[in-house]
Copies of this chain bind each other. A is one copy, B any other.
Amino acid sequence: MVDKMRIAVLTSGGDAPGMNAAVRTIAVMGLAQGHEVLGVRHGYQGLLEGELTPLTLSEVNGISRQGGTILGSARSKVFPTEEGQAQAKKMLKKHEVDALIVLGGNGSLTGAHLLAKDRPCQIIGLPASIDNDIGHCGLSIGTDTAVNTIVEACDRISDTARAHRRAFIVEVMGRHSGFLAMRAGIAAEADAILYGEAKLDEDDIVDRLRAILQRSFAPGGYKTRALFIKAEGVEVPTKRLVKRLQYHLEKDAPDVDIRETILGHVVRGGRPSGLDRCIAQRLAFAAVSACEAGLHDVMLAWQSPEDAGQATQDPFVRIIPIADVLAETTKLLNGTSPVVQARIALLKKAENLLAL
């Protein structure tokens, strides 16, 4: 028997496919256990403005399949300030919230950790970000769907590229993390994958891609298209790369064009994949249990094999203090994390081979 609680849930930052599946499971499981479940509208900004309303079973019925977030998200400039924090805590007290579950990426988890100070209520984080750039987290909610969307777009681009013997640079989201570029690049048979963590010099990039183009479109070659995936985090503008490579192509392979495609917000939405819905629901399930267990200032993570954290009854879900998550995130993003280093090492070896 668990004590009855009042649990609130908010979604914050960029939306990620699977957020709705998590919101539904929190509501369904919370209500089944006899708790009250409140939805906070429009992220932290809505919290400040007191937009907390009870979630009903009817409202969450069938939402797992929807992209975006039915709760809405929003940026708040006030929330991180001292006044914002005070106001947020006041609202949590006013609405008698026992536990707040926050779904979001690094910014949102930083906010959750800040809010956790002085424990206005229990704070539980769930990692939701298409970029998979959160520390101690194998796959964040939304990443798998985003990879599928990028791969599908690359398949389409490959169709037209092959029809014309063309090269394409496809830029994908991921300002601080090359994960999406890497995973989608491998899946899409990319000829090169460019990511910020490699800290490549513009001339080096051009030289490398030019060499690949020369090999790919050499007379008698078997390739009929070249595909380069570039993470947003690579500082050289895509247009500049295209221009410089076009210049070289005029000599190297005059019948070949190079084009760019920026896959922007298209990648953020869409029906969540089976895996994302599954991850979201299992994390949400553990989040309600974590509320009941009195946990505070922790995140629940879809476990990666290298990962630390405390076990749950779900072998794939671990409990990690948000402070540890944020510390590890810093290492992930500045490239000092062994996880990133292993990823890059593996990819370097593979790339030398794949760009045959």
Contacts and interface: CB of A to CB of B under 8 A. Distances in A.
B274 A61 contact: no
Interface string A310-354: 000111100000000000000000000001001001100110111
A186 to B, nearest CB: 5
Q: In which size bucket is the chain A interface?
A: 35 or more
Interface in A157-198: 157-165, 168, 183-184, 186-189
A259 B265 contact: yes
Given A265-B168, A313-B345, A144 B274 contact: yes
A82 to B, nearest CB: 22
Interface in A220-277: 222-224, 255, 259, 261-271, 273-275, 277
A74 interface: yes
28 contacts: A15-B159, A15-B160, A24-B189, A25-B354, A28-B353, A28-B356, A56-B222, A57-B222, A61-B223, A64-B189, A67-B159, A68-B159, A68-B160, A69-B163, A72-B165, A73-B163, A148-B148, A152-B271, A155-B270, A157-B265, A159-B268, A160-B268, A161-B265, A187-B275, A259-B265, A262-B262, A273-B273, A313-B345
